[in-house]
Amino acid sequence: MGVLDVDYARVAGRNLPEHWDIDVVGFLVMERQDAADVPGQEFWQQTAFHTFRDRNLSDLRAAAADVDLIIGHNLFDGDYRCLRTYGDMLDVGALAAKTVDTLYAARRVAVGAASRTARLGLTTLARAQGLRERAKTASRTEAHRGIRTIHDAEERWHFQPVSDDCELMLELWLELVTSRRLRSVLRSGEALEFPVGEDALRLLLEPPLTSDMFTNLLTTKGTVYPLQGAARKESVARIHREIEQQRADGTLTNRHPTASHRQRCMAPSDEGGRQCDQLIEVTQTYCRAHRLKRRCRGNPAIGDVCTAVVHGELAHCRWHRITALYVPEGQRIVEDFTLALPLRGWQRDSDWGYDTGTRSYFASLYRIEADPSGEPSVWLSGTNPDLGNMVALADALQQATGATRQDVLAALNEHRRSPRERAVSTQDWEPAECDRPCPCSITNCGHGAPCPDNDCNGHDIHTMRNPCTEVDVTAWQDHFDCCAGCSSSTLDIALPDRPWGEIRDDGTVSVYAGVHHHELGTPP
């Protein structure tokens, strides 16, 4: 049995699979074998995994000839429609005659009024069936042919290999066949479950279309799925009629350009996406719109987005020329620095930085009860484990402290947040139980301290923090409630690095958007 998946080099604005260029075709070959230790039991064993590009796509025919069944998701109305435009290299009809498509079967299993809004994509179905999470959320690009540029390297952090999708399709197929039920969700989030009857099971075990049936559906209707009345996708059908005519005339050649001559502009998208959609010559770096200036690439490996503008050939702002995982040759800045590490649940005396002597990042952390003048509670020197980049540092911090990934990355990027963002996070949090760390991000705030009432055995819960006074923007007031309910108290504090507003040139005070100042009557 073979599992087939196609990743594309899509171009913005092209919605038909017939207009997509392939990036890579993955073909996973599985063979059923007897379990040596359990008589009568069988299991599926991987025997080969092939990848095909446009230059060797014709080799897929030989690989497919060795299997009895091909499975995949959205092959009939997606991948095969694209591959038919490579008809001079591949006979897709021969593949279709061996194929069972889990989407094709799912659309017949999901019946009734709810089926019209059921979500049947691979990501949704895998999650609904309780399979592992799918990492890939968008199509790949031509840059995946090898790490040639900074963009190629960064994209490896966003997309899983085509082999992973092949394995996930196999897991989905096995789950549907063995459990005999299909789970999905509506767009509203409501869960659905459909039984897989004998007819639907046959669609998962036996190819439903012959080569001629598949070709006829595409050339007459433009789709393998039923349409209302005499409706058809005429623009799609016309493309496939032309393919058949060229095949009959012996003039069929695919019109896809050689992908090695093109790549996408490496500038981040101005609309907030990961990358500009413009295709450029492989010898170029940026499209015309981004040739003079563009947004900094940030550090995608840890989700660090940057809005700074850079010029010339630079891909990063100064900070990210120091810390980004991938920086173009000759642009990396290497220098010592030390910054505060305000990790939730640890003292604010904790810090992190970079040491040019060891060519490594480091971090020292102090527990809440520790003496900051003594040895750190956790010392990550960069020698064991090796901390040569920010990803390794974040991994080590998460493992050493037990903190969430979100909290670790927030602490590492705290110094880059704007005063307004720091002010909002200082006030916007939910109280924790008295035996849990306080989420206010201020060390020794008083949360969990014994109740000041000597007759009470309870502890204080830090319930809120609000600005106080109308002139001192560093002044805040903390509110505490006893967990036993006996009393409440307040404490005035100063946070110079977290002002709740700013003082204008004329002496008046403005409150940052998102901060609620009760005395000034400003809503959050």
First to last CA, the chain: 59
Q: State how far the alpha carbon of 181 is from the alpha carbons of 110, 189, 238, 270, in Å.
A: 10, 19, 37, 44
Cα separation of 66 and 321, whole Å?
A: 50
Tell me if 242 is assigned to some domain. Answer: no
Tell me: do 349 and 436 sit in the same domain.
no
CB 517 within 8 A of CB 467: yes
Cα separation of 504 and 495, whole Å?
A: 19
Tell me: do 176 and 109 sit in the same domain.
yes
Tell me: do 108 and 168 sit in the same domain.
yes
Q: State how far the alpha carbon of 486 is from the alpha carbons of 147, 179, 409, in Å.
A: 64, 56, 38
pLDDT < 70 regions, the chain: 9-14, 35-40, 112-117, 135-161, 229-231, 257-264, 271-274, 282, 443, 521, 523-524
Tell me: do 190 and 41 sit in the same domain.
yes
Tell me: do 403 and 494 sit in the same domain.
no
Tell me: do 48 and 162 sit in the same domain.
yes
- Quick one: which of 277, 273, 126, 106 has its CA closest to 204? 106
Tell me: do 7 and 48 sit in the same domain.
yes
Residue 325: CB atoms within 10 A of its CB come to: 19
Q: Tell which of 358, 381, 415 closes a domain.
A: 415
Cα separation of 357 and 351, whole Å?
A: 18
Q: Tell which of 204, 221, 238 closes a domain.
A: 221
Tell me: do 54 and 171 sit in the same domain.
yes
pLDDT at 302: 82
User: What domain range is 385 assigned to?
Assistant: 337-415
Tell me: do 13 and 81 sit in the same domain.
yes
Tell me if 278 is assigned to some domain. Answer: no
Tell me: do 191 and 102 sit in the same domain.
yes
Beta partners for residue 481, in sequence order: 461, 488
Tell me: do 47 and 177 sit in the same domain.
yes
What are the strands, taking DSSP E only, across 39-124?
42-52, 70-72, 99-101, 118-119
Summarised one tens digit per residue, pLDDT across range 451-492 is 888 888 889 999 999 998 888 999 999 999 998 888 888 999
CATH number of domain containing 55 = 3.30.420
Q: Give the single-character DSSP code of 437.
A: -
pLDDT at 144: 37
Please give the tally of structural domains in the chain: 3
- Quick one: which of 435, 434, 521 has its CA closest to 480? 434
Tell me: do 392 and 428 sit in the same domain.
no
Q: Tell which of 221, 240, 263 closes a domain.
A: 221
Tell me if 312 is assigned to some domain. Answer: no
